[in-house]
Amino acid sequence: LAKTLGMTPIGTMAHEFMQAFQALDVRLRDSQKAALEAWVHEYRGDLGIALTDVVGMAAFLRDFDLYFAKLFDGLRHDSGDPYVWGDKAIAHYDKLKIDPKTKILTFSDGLDLEKAWELHQYFKDRIRTSFGIGTNLTNDMGITPINIVLKLVECNGQPVAKLSDSPGKTMINNDTYLAYLRQVFEVDEPE
């Protein structure tokens, strides 16, 4: 839909794209890889930043093998500690024998200019960085913004979920499916 309308699929749409594969005709354990593969085939090298937080960074990295790491330009952070996440991403590229300086980390979780600068300073000598500063760049009125987040909870009559690396950002309305998804992707319950 985004491509048809000439829109860039970022934010919620990227999450929903990845989530939808949990309910398509692939094994649940292969859903993330199938979504990454479909993304590559659809965008043919364009929009090459992979979203890592649909089933959590650890599960994502298990699926983000040398093939995908070479195909995608970089990774997008949207939940969890950005410093820990970025260090894990760099370590993963190193493990795959890919020079992290040829890749990019895009940070987009609740940023303001100061936080973006701090992240850039921390990572600048190890990997390229970019930033998606939305609400906190345009909301300069001193009013706390409302948090309106929409994610899929069902697709094709089946439950789907987003397992976030940040407590409270997991989105689902089916606890049985959530437990199954955690089991399949070897994701522990948050403490």
Q: Is residue 43 part of a domain?
A: yes
Please answer whether residues 53 and 19 qualify as being in contact, where contact means their C-beta atoms are separated by less than 8 angstroms: no
Q: Is residue 4 part of a domain?
A: no
Residue 51, H or E segment: strand 49-51
Q: Is residue 188 part of a domain?
A: no
The count of structural domains within the chain is 1
What is the SS3 assignment for 135? helix
CATH number of the domain to which 42 belongs: 3.20.140.10
Q: State the residue range of the domain holding 67.
A: 12-181
Q: Is residue 138 part of a domain?
A: yes
CA neighbor of 73 nearest in space, from 42, 51, 95, 97: 51
Q: What is the pLDDT along the chain (191 residues), one digit of tens a residue?
A: 555 666 554 445 778 888 899 999 999 999 999 999 999 998 888 888 999 988 999 999 999 999 999 999 999 998 889 999 999 999 999 999 999 999 999 998 888 889 999 999 999 999 999 998 766 656 566 777 666 666 778 888 899 988 878 777 777 778 899 899 999 999 887 65
Cβ-Cβ contacts under 8 Å for 29 (sequence gap 6 or more)? 184, 185
Please answer whether residues 53 and 164 qualify as being in contact, where contact means their C-beta atoms are separated by less than 8 angstroms: yes
Alpha helices in the chain (DSSP H): 12-20, 31-43, 57-63, 66-71, 82-95, 113-123, 135-138, 175-184
Q: Is residue 24 part of a domain?
A: yes
Q: Is residue 2 part of a domain?
A: no
Q: Is residue 190 part of a domain?
A: no
Residue identified by tokens 């999450």 is 15
Cα separation of the two ends of the chain: 37
Q: Is residue 68 part of a domain?
A: yes
